[in-house]
Structure 1
């Protein structure tokens, strides 16, 4: 993974020192909350329902064991002993006292971490495929380009005060695990007719109040030109994006109102107008330097099959079930990628205790080349594990309460913090998620792949729009209701789910979804036909009838 150079180190240290003074002024009363707000947001600090919340950046979702241990220490010393991993491949701590935040940031700086640009109207954390560098599906590891974009965008003077927050995702595989089509900019690494690797640029995607699937504005752009094209897109957005109405300020609104064709014409014109001195020409040696940080580990030459792995499955039925769902194919024979589910029953999805973080850090150090990945579906990945050693990994995880065998199944749902924490939320999302998990745990294996996403408000931090089943919490005269959508997808066939009808009361949601699950099992064409495939084949009507059967 990328290591800070002396410029990164000094930049982060200077920011921490600056913010320490700002916090002191706030605590002394010299700064009121209104004047402190823009300062704290630039340092990843939000004011939630009960306390300040600190959001820490995890660029492209990658952590070392040392960094994970530091996060564990933060949770234990300054929070309530846990942290919440988010759909932006970040981590949030919800109970840190304001007086302690500068100290936390100093400790993070010691392990090359920070909270810069995790909030505010700027370019946020760049995300990617959690299996980057491990999967045979990708044409090239996208992480060096995520890092290049991170360096380009951090403290960019022209894009520090955008009309609204801005999110970029990158993938290099046809199977889109980075949800690039619902980002402000999605970059898909692909080959042109000559076999050269470049980028398809997708612009104007996003969820929230007005969900939109992004539009391809450039089918292929050379690597040498990618930063200049990003600069052109950002300039058009910065110039024309709405600043008088935050609900219409995202680039998706600008692209929609101008039309994709006109927006693309303006980007083309901006790109053509760039003077030579404005061009961002990365020397190849710099690209190579950054890429070198992401070179493949020293994999051993191993057989494709592992006798120890097969024997463990034969002798331990629980392990065999876990291996069926939580392992992904690796590009190197004899290795696999392990997904650690943060969705055990009766735990808020995405939460991990400090003790669990330390266990994961130890496992990564011992078995996965000191490499950890946070996924945008709120799980953790050990990208490079020998098949011979997977059983040892499983036993250690299971002993720490991290042995849930539900990856990609219905109980592996996405859930935002909702009204339990967030002052923007209209309804609780964690309690309803737990109820749904408990119900679906009875059907997980039979149902197969099924994505359920839950948001506590229209801001869609739980990505409800792109769940196969989406759940949105709304407030109706002080009572919580939940609006249900069917048919959303965040993958290469991305689409926004369709609202099915009136919202359900809290106590109605889980029984209604159980009826939907039973209907799917009744009408699917074969036992291996996925829920989303049945829905797309037959339409939503049979599922809608089941949803409202007792209404």
Structure 2
């Protein structure tokens, strides 16, 4: 795990000192809110519906137990006792008082954290595969590359006033767990002819104009990463539209000019930049890689795991849903669901944060990850410890066995918090989870990704949900549109709109009808919802929503 250097420490301390002075000027009236806005955004501070919101960076989703405990302390001392983990692998505190924010930032700095570039028209927090360094299918751990990009992009003098925000993701596996193709730029570590390099995607993004990223370079030699990324951002910085913020993202630039033109412009700019970077990437990266050495794995018997799996059905259900294969024999990757049925997706209390920190310190090589699906990951746990881990999680409401299931819903804060939202997201997500828990169908349904956004900005990733829900305002009434067939993986796809939306009272029965249609039409219990949709097309699901099949779900439920 990366530790702050002396430079990092001094840099963050100086930024915090500057922002403390800016806050004092705002509180005294020396700065108006309009004057203060760009200053606070540079430090991750938003003004939401009811209060300020501080967005804290968790680079590539990696946390130590000490850092997680500090987040718990901040939640308890300066907020309302909880934090909200986001799809950008960040955490948001929704209720800070302005005069407390400088103290919160100083507390973060004590454990090597900050809120720099978590907002504004700049390169945002770099995200990564939440199984990085542990996944059995990865070519290489992507976190050193993500850290290299983070260091290069932080306070980059050319890229602090971009046309719009710019999001980068990194993965080291063929299976995409980082939503690569929905990012402005994405880096996939690949191997070609025995050489490690990068596949570069560009022009992905969701929001009001969702687009799947295109391949900019199929194979980029490892030595050329930084100059190539800098060339890409430089080209967009010049071409990107500043006359209309809705057309300013790089996806629109790629769409308007075409990928071939963009590729040629990037290659030309890359040729100019490459000589100045020669050798820099490798030297810089090799120093970073030392911070990401694998932990000291132990060789122990897994008999306690096997016994618990055979004899405890509750543990077995959790293991089947929440564990993934680890590259080290005898180990597993454990996901902690922050989606207990009826809970707010992504929220964790200070007590829960401390329990997760304790478990990571005792059983997980002192490491936690935040997933883009708003859950917590213990990347390195020995199977023999899993019965103890499960028991502790269960006693604190953290052992819900629903990873990847219908109640594991991604949801933005929606109109309960966000000033941009046009509808509520959280209550709808809670009602869906509660309803399918009542029906006891979750495990029969299997893998089903539901994602909900409270406005067209798509912070809930609804476009790439197997079932996507978009909340809108229709003449003062909340209306929820449904899309089907979205996918955030290596088979990335934008969901197709089904038709007219549904009111808040109608949306839960509508989702229920969709699920019953799937159960009725799937070819086998192993066929996932997304695969059934691809095989069958829209017709049977549309019929279930709007046609004669509208009552099928209710009859089945009865």
Tell me which interval the TM-score lies in, with the shorter structure as reference length: over 0.9
The secondary structure found in structure 2 opposite 1:293 is helix
**Alpha-carbon distance between aligned partners in 1 of 2:124 and 2:231, rounded to the nearest angstrom:** 18
**Residue 530 (structure 1) aligns with:** 528
**Residue 426 (structure 2) aligns with:** 430
**Alpha-carbon distance between aligned partners in 2 of 1:280 and 1:56, rounded to the nearest angstrom:** 33
**Alpha-carbon distance between aligned partners in 1 of 2:538 and 2:330, rounded to the nearest angstrom:** 42
Q: Deviations over 1:441-477 (max 9, x none)?
A: 2211000000000000000000000000000000011
TM-score norm. by structure 1 comes to: 0.98
**Alpha-carbon distance between aligned partners in 2 of 1:49 and 1:41, rounded to the nearest angstrom:** 16
Structure 2 spans left out of the alignment, 5+ residues:
552-558
- The answer as to whether partners of 1:336 and 1:386 remain within 8 angstroms in 2 is yes
Q: How does 1:189-338 map to 2 (within 5 A)?
A: 189-192=189-192, 194-274=193-273, 276-277=275-276, 279=277, 281-282=279-280, 284-302=282-300, 306-338=302-334
Aligned-residue offset at 1:287:
2.1
- The answer as to whether partners of 1:302 and 1:333 remain within 8 angstroms in 2 is no
Q: Deviations over 1:237-262 (max 9, x none)?
A: 00010111000000000000001111
The secondary structure found in structure 1 opposite 2:292 is coil
**Residue 474 (structure 1) aligns with:** 472
**Residue 92 (structure 2) aligns with:** 92
Aligned-residue offset at 1:118:
0.2
**Alpha-carbon distance between aligned partners in 2 of 1:24 and 1:281, rounded to the nearest angstrom:** 44
Q: Deviations over 1:20-72 (max 9, x none)?
A: 00000000110010000000000000000000000000000000000000000
**Count of residue correspondences:** 547
TM-score norm. by structure 2 comes to: 0.97
- The answer as to whether partners of 1:52 and 1:94 remain within 8 angstroms in 2 is yes
**Residue 502 (structure 2) aligns with:** 504
**Alpha-carbon distance between aligned partners in 1 of 2:279 and 2:471, rounded to the nearest angstrom:** 47
Structure 1 spans left out of the alignment, 5+ residues:
none
- The answer as to whether partners of 2:127 and 2:170 remain within 8 angstroms in 1 is yes
**Residue 361 (structure 1) aligns with:** 357
**Residue 34 (structure 1) aligns with:** 34
**Alpha-carbon distance between aligned partners in 2 of 1:402 and 1:107, rounded to the nearest angstrom:** 26
2:458 pairs with 457, 460, 472, which one?
460
- The answer as to whether partners of 1:227 and 1:280 remain within 8 angstroms in 2 is no
Give structure 1 regions of 4+ aligned residues with deviation exceeding 6 angstroms. Answer: none
Aligned-residue offset at 1:283:
6.2
**Residue 515 (structure 2) aligns with:** 517
**Residue 131 (structure 1) aligns with:** 131
1:385 paired to 2:381: yes
1:416 pairs with 389, 412, 415, which one?
412
- The answer as to whether partners of 2:393 and 2:399 remain within 8 angstroms in 1 is yes
Cα RMSD (Å): 1.0
Aligned-residue offset at 1:109:
0.2
The secondary structure found in structure 2 opposite 1:125 is coil
**Alpha-carbon distance between aligned partners in 2 of 1:503 and 1:114, rounded to the nearest angstrom:** 40
1:121 paired to 2:113: no
**Alpha-carbon distance between aligned partners in 1 of 2:481 and 2:513, rounded to the nearest angstrom:** 16
**Alpha-carbon distance between aligned partners in 2 of 1:462 and 1:2, rounded to the nearest angstrom:** 29
**Alpha-carbon distance between aligned partners in 1 of 2:308 and 2:273, rounded to the nearest angstrom:** 60
